[in-house]
């Protein structure tokens, strides 16, 4: 092969490879993207109903309930303004405990309970998933505003 043809071949192959890759990426991205939804937004009904998403916040103190001897557990997650109930079945991460930051993957059940299929609590106690930290600090601000205005803390869509 002549050098020019070689270069053409190389460029052509690279372009083809990248085109295929880009096409696949875009197609599969749609199905695999998982959105993070703030607890307040979930309570307000703003969440993707047909697919999995992530929520995050603090585990509410005293909310962890477990049936004795069973893997099923329920607890509540709060962004300090709103709270939603979560159910999960399985082994929990080591850093999962009341008052700690947590991220849950799953979807909303018909009963307004978040059905988690995966629970993440990070390796380091000082570390909080950035989206959770964001969500908490934002709503802590809301609480302060709400206290001044005397408004309801959690604005759900039914109230």
* Least distance between other proteins and beta carbon 150 (Å): 30
Please enumerate in sequence order all residues whose Cβ is within 8 A of that of 37, keeping only pairs 6 or more positions apart, or say none. Answer: 46, 47, 48, 53, 54, 55
How many residues sit close enough to other proteins to count as binding (CB under 8 A)?
A: 42
Q: In the complex, what is the shortest distance from the CB of residue 158 to other proteins, in angstroms, rounded to a whole number? A: 26
Of 44, 87, 92, 113, the one binding other proteins (CB under 8 A) is 92
> To the nearest whole angstrom, how small is the minimum distance from the Cβ of residue 64 to other proteins?
10
28 binds other proteins per the rule CB under 8 A: yes
Question: Which are the contacts of 57, defined by CB distance < 8 A and separation ≥ 6?
Answer: 39, 77, 78, 79, 80, 101, 102, 132, 135, 136
Strand partners, 58: 78, 101
Question: Between residue 39 and residue 58, which ones bind other proteins under the rule CB under 8 A?
Answer: 54
- CA dist., res. 115 & res. 37, Å (int): 14
CA distance linking residue 63 with residue 124, whole number of Å? 23
Which parts of this chain interact with other proteins (CB under 8 A)?
1-3, 5-6, 9-10, 13-14, 17-18, 20-21, 24-25, 28-29, 31-36, 54, 66, 68-71, 89-92, 94-95, 123-125, 130-131, 133-134
């Amino acid at each position: 092969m002549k050098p020019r043809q070689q270069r053409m071949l190389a460029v052509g192959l690279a372009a083809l490879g990248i085109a295929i890759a880009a096409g696949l990426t875009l197609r599969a991205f749609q199905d695999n993207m998982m959105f993070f939804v703030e607890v307040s937004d979930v309570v307000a009904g703003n969440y993707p109903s047909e697919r999995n998403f992530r929520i995050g916040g603090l585990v509410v103190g005293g909310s962890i309930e477990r049936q004795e001897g069973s893997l099923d557990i329920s607890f509540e997650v709060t962004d300090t303004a709103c709270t939603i109930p979560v159910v999960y079945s399985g082994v929990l991460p080591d850093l999962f405990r009341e008052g700690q930051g947590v991220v849950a993957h799953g979807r909303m059940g018909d009963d307004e309970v978040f059905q988690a299929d995966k629970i993440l609590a990070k390796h380091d106690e000082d570390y909080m998933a950035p989206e959770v930290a964001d969500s908490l600090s934002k709503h802590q601000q809301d609480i302060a505003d709400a206290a001044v205005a005397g408004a309801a803390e959690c604005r759900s869509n039914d109230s």
